Amino acid sequence: MQNTTMKIALYGYGKMGQAIEKAATLRGHSIVLKVDHDNAGTPPTGADVAIEFSRPENALPNMRLCLEAGVPIVVGTTGWYDELGAVKTLVADTKGTLLWASNFSIGVNLFFKLNKYLASLMDGQANYAVQIEETHHLQKLDAPSGTAITLARDLHIRSNRYAGWELKKDGHSPAADQVPITSHRIGEVPGTHAITWESPEDKITITHQAHGRQGFATGAVVAAEWLKGRTGMFTMDDVLSGNV
């Protein structure tokens, strides 16, 4: 637990927001504001930091609201990454502080590192082709998941064979230079991601399966603690690497 407690504003108070409240309370922090559709647009007055887990269409307005108020913000909502350049500009213009991640689970971020290492090993193995499969609960709005997109991005960065990613749909096969992603939305599944490299002779699969939301919630609170005294734009990789 951190020595300094924080006053936290929560933007998004669904199941994830409630899990973050639990994690924050366990670590000695207090929730001073809970924002949902009934009080959307409420500024983070009195908060030391904001944590944003709302909806894709609300993420940018919430980021702007907090940055213009001078309150650091941790962003876990996905589905807005096409606007990443605009967010970087906003952080610079406001001299603000923002940390974003497609997934705040410590285990998933270690999985990201494993994915990159395996991709580098596979780059010279032309017989192997890759695919990503992800499964989430029915309430998840974006597909593929932000985590799957991060995994695919890291694959095409580490491998000369891939130039991007494409969602695999019935009756349509992605181009050979695109990482294929298959998405499933089933019941209350917290999140499962699998990366498979397959050749005519065999296949290698690495999988991360979340048991619940609490790992994501704790990671988001740890990220908020790490932001104290920092200015700029960061990711979960900075937190785990201990970067200044």
Provide, rounded to the nearest whole percent, the portion of the chain with pLDDT above 90: 68
β-bridge mates for residue 233, sequence order: 98
Does residue 38 carry a pLDDT above 80? yes
Both structure tokens of 168 = 């695999």
Q: Mind telling me the catalytic residues?
A: 136, 140
Q: What is the pTM of this model?
A: 0.75
* Mean per-residue pLDDT of the chain: 91
Which domains are delineated in the chain? 7-104+213-241 (3.40.50.720), 106-209 (3.30.360.10)
pLDDT for the residue 134: 95
- 151-197: per-residue pLDDT in tens? 999 998 888 889 999 998 877 788 989 999 999 998 888 889 999 99
Neighbours of 180 (CB within 10 A): 21
pLDDT band at 111 (very low <50, low <70, confident <90, very high): very high
DSSP string, the chain: --SS--EEEEE--SHHHHHHHHHHHHTT-EEEEEE-GGGTT---TT-SEEEE-S-HHHHHHHHHHHHHTT--EEE---S-GGGHHHHHHHHHHHT-EEEE-S---HHHHHHHHHHHHHHHHHTT-TT-EEEEEEEE-TT--SSS-HHHHHHHHHHHHH-TT--EEEE-BTTB---TTEEEEEEEE-TT---EEEEEEE-SS-EEEEEEE-S-SHHHHHHHHHHHHHTTT--EEEEHHHHHHT--
Reference 148, options 175, 182, 113; nearest CA is 182
